[in-house]
Amino acid sequence: MKKITIFIIIIVIGVIGFLVLNKVQNKNEENKYRYNDLTKVGYNDDEINYIYSKLDESNINILLRYSYQKELKNLLEHKDFKMNNLNNYLEMKDKITIDLDDIIYIVNDNSYKEDITYNEFVISMIKEEYYLKDRLDRYIDYHTKNTKKTVKEVIQNVNANLDYEFYTNTSSTDTSKGTLMIVNKYYKLDESYVPDDLVDVESKYGANKQMSKVAYEAFIELFNDAQKQGYNLYIASPYRSYQYQTTLYNNYVKSDGKKNADTYSARPGYSEHQTGLAADVMARGNSSLNEFENTKEFKWMKKNAYKYGFILRYPENKEYITGYIYEPWHYRYVGKEAAKTIYEKNLTYEEYYAYYVDKK
C-alpha cells in the first residue's frame, strides 16, 4: 500500500512538472513571438525589456497595433498616465504631432475624437476653464463660422447657446434644480407649471400679487436692511402665470411688433416670472420701472442684492447673451452662494448655469 501511494505521488509530481515545463516553454515561445513582433516594429532589446516590465500581454497587443513609439517610456511614466487609456494615447500619438502632455490631457478628459483636428485653437479650448466636453463639436463649428472670436468668446457664447438662434433648439427646463432652474429663450416652462410655494405679497413690500416663498422671504430681509439705511423698495411685478404672460406678450406684439417685443418681453413659457423667483423692483413712489435706474435705491440694489441671493438678471452690455435689453429693475433669486459668484465674476445667469449647474 505504501509503495502504491509513493508511486501515485511520483506520477502526480511528474504530471505537474510536465505541465509547468510545458507552460514555461509555451511562455518562452510566446515571448519569442512577441519579441520578434516588437523588433519588427522597431524596438531594441533594452526597450523590449522595459516593455515587458511595464505591460502585460493584452497591453503589448495594443502597443503592436501602432508604429514605433519613440516617447513610449515618457508616456508610461508620465504622472497623469492611465493604463486603461493606453489605446487612445497611442492612437492619438500615431495620428497627430502634438505635445505628449496635451495628448494625455485630452484623452484623460475624454475629449479625444477620431474625426477632430487638434490644432492649437482646439487644444486651447479644451483647456479653457469653462469648457464642456459634450459641446466640443459645437465649439469647433461655431469657431469655423466666427474665426475672429477668441477662445474665451467661443466657449462663452456656445455655453450660452448663442450658436443657436433664440427660440430654436429649445427644451423644457429642469425644475428639479429649484432656485437654480433656468428659464430663457432656450429653456421653457410647461403651460401647467405653477410654483408649489407661492405666497401673497404684503402691501408693505409690494403689489398685491404672489411670489415664491423662498424668494419672498429673502426679499423681506433685503427690504428691511435697505429701509434701515434709508432706501424704500417695492415689488412691482413678481409671479406671472403662463396665461397672464400670454396676454402681456400678445399686447406688446400688437403695439410694437414681434421683433421689438422679443427684445424686452418673454414669450409664454419662457418668462422667469412664471418661476415665482423673479421680480421687477422699483423705488416706492416711482410711477414707472424706467425711472428705477436713476434712483438711489437702484444703486443700493446693484451693490447689495447679491448678499440676499438676488442677481440683476439682464445686465447692461450682455444683451447678446441674455436676449433682452438692459433691465435695471429685473431681479432673480438664485440663492446667496450662486448670487455671490455671479456678482464677483460679472457673469450672466446663462454663463453661470452652464459653468456651475449644467456642468455638474
What does 65-130 look like in DSSP terms, one character per residue? Answer: TS---TTHHHHHT-TT--GGGHHHHHHHHHH----HHHHHHHHHTT---TT----HHHHHHHHSTT
Cα 143 vs. chain centroid, distance in angstroms? 18
d(Cα 159, Cα 139) in Å, to the nearest integer? 9
Q: Which of 272, 327, 350, 351 is catalytic?
A: 327
Q: Is 344 a catalytic residue?
A: no
CATH code at 171-358: 3.30.1380.10
3-state secondary structure of 211: strand
Domains in the chain: boundaries: 2-118, 171-358
Query: Per-residue pLDDT tens for 39-95?
Result: 888 999 999 999 999 999 999 999 999 999 999 999 999 999 999 999 999 999 888
N-term to C-term CA, the chain: 74
Query: Per-residue pLDDT tens for 271-289?
Result: 999 999 999 999 998 878 9
Q: What is the pLDDT of residue 349?
A: 97
Query: Per-residue pLDDT tens for 17-38?
Result: 544 444 434 444 445 557 888 9
Q: What is the pLDDT of residue 129?
A: 87
